Amino acid sequence: MDHKTLLRLAKTHGTPLFVVDHKVLRENYLQFRKHMPRVQVYFAVKANSDPEIVKTFYEAGASFDVASVAEFLTVHALIKHLPAKQRQDFIWDKIIYANPIKAIETLQQLDPYKPLVTYDNHEEVVKIARYAPHSGLVLRLRVPNTGSMVELSSKFGALPGEAVDLIAFAHNNKLVVEGLSFHVGSQCTNPQNYVQALHLAASIFAEAKSRGFDLKLLDIGGGFPAHYDATVPAFKSLAKTINAELDRLFPAPIEILAEPGRFLVASAATAVAKIIGKAVRGGKLCYYLDDGVYHTFSGVIFDHCQYHLQSFKKAPTQLCSVFGPTCDALDTISLAEQLPDLDLGEYVFSENIGAYSAASSTSFNGFPPAKVIHLNQ
């Protein structure tokens, strides 16, 4: 993002700022579609649930993976202008409720929409059958998460050996299982996670068919890595590997879905913060910003992600510590940033911070979250 624009916005609106470039959102979406043309994109709203971001992806043609009623309603609000028939078809075409565990109240709210929902255990089937019997089901599988920045299989996913029995159990409860899903872990840089998961899913498709269950769709989840640095493999290469396995193992008319989140939004946002404090501790320069890990930099804690800071000033740098504005020592952005000698009131910025950042902001200590600025809408 242009540095002059960032400085102008900071001086105009104050800081902290979270600046979203919608041109980059659209470019990322088109890149995904270009390299994986068979796959329908279901944007993982949890990555950044800002309604303006959701609207941009909707207008670009995306569908959506939601994991709460609030996220569901954010997406559903976009259908008001559609004709009645399209509104009826909207949920199946545009939304998958991909949280395998749902509260009874959630199921009751979802049922009138005849939603597509995931599950991974017997208790969830019983609950869905009672409180959301109009749902279509997708069975989530447990798959390897080796090499992913955030693993998810310890919390969700049916074991392969119980998968077809869980499909049969759903059918016995008068529910229809439409297909399978999996998630290889967030920021997955190991292509073999996808390869192994696809082989596993293919074997379950075959076993299910042998027992009379004809599955129609496969949701290959998220995990597609954002290009934070040169160590991240090119998306084009990962897509080539996945496409080859999809075409070999899942011929048409099986529908393929994916739930990219980080890949679509990470590179589209930049945080701008102001230096509000400065000290030397143990011979090391320390900066204090008006943004921190309870706000835009929450990914340092929750997402195992390190967002590097840059200065608008061109000058020699030194090793610094950088802290957020709260009174909590946990509010540590970094203990190893290379920054120049800056004055109070000067600005720093952090790129590639669009995913799992502002989405987790709080008002801890009474400090408000960063103001969101949208560009190129």
Q: Which residues are catalytic?
A: 327
The span from the CA of 134 to the CA of 228, in Å, is: 41
> Residue 376 corresponds to which tokens in the numbers above?
């190129």
**Cα dihedral: 84, 88, 90, 91 (round 10):** 150
**Cα dihedral: 100, 106, 109, 115 (round 10):** 0
List beta partners, residue 159.
none
Angle subtended at Cα 308 by Cα 306 and Cα 314, rounded to the nearest 5 degrees: 175
Compute how many other C-beta atoms are within 10 angstroms of the C-beta atom of residue 88: 13
> Residue 162 corresponds to which tokens in the numbers above?
């119980």
The span from the CA of 199 to the CA of 192, in Å, is: 10
List beta partners, residue 372.
18
The span from the CA of 161 to the CA of 316, in Å, is: 59
The 10 Å CB-count burial string (b at 16+, else e) for 308-325 is: bbbbbeeeeeeebbbbbb
The span from the CA of 186 to the CA of 303, in Å, is: 9
CA-based R_g, the chain, Å? 22
Q: Identify the sign of the CA torsion 292, 297, 301, 307.
A: negative
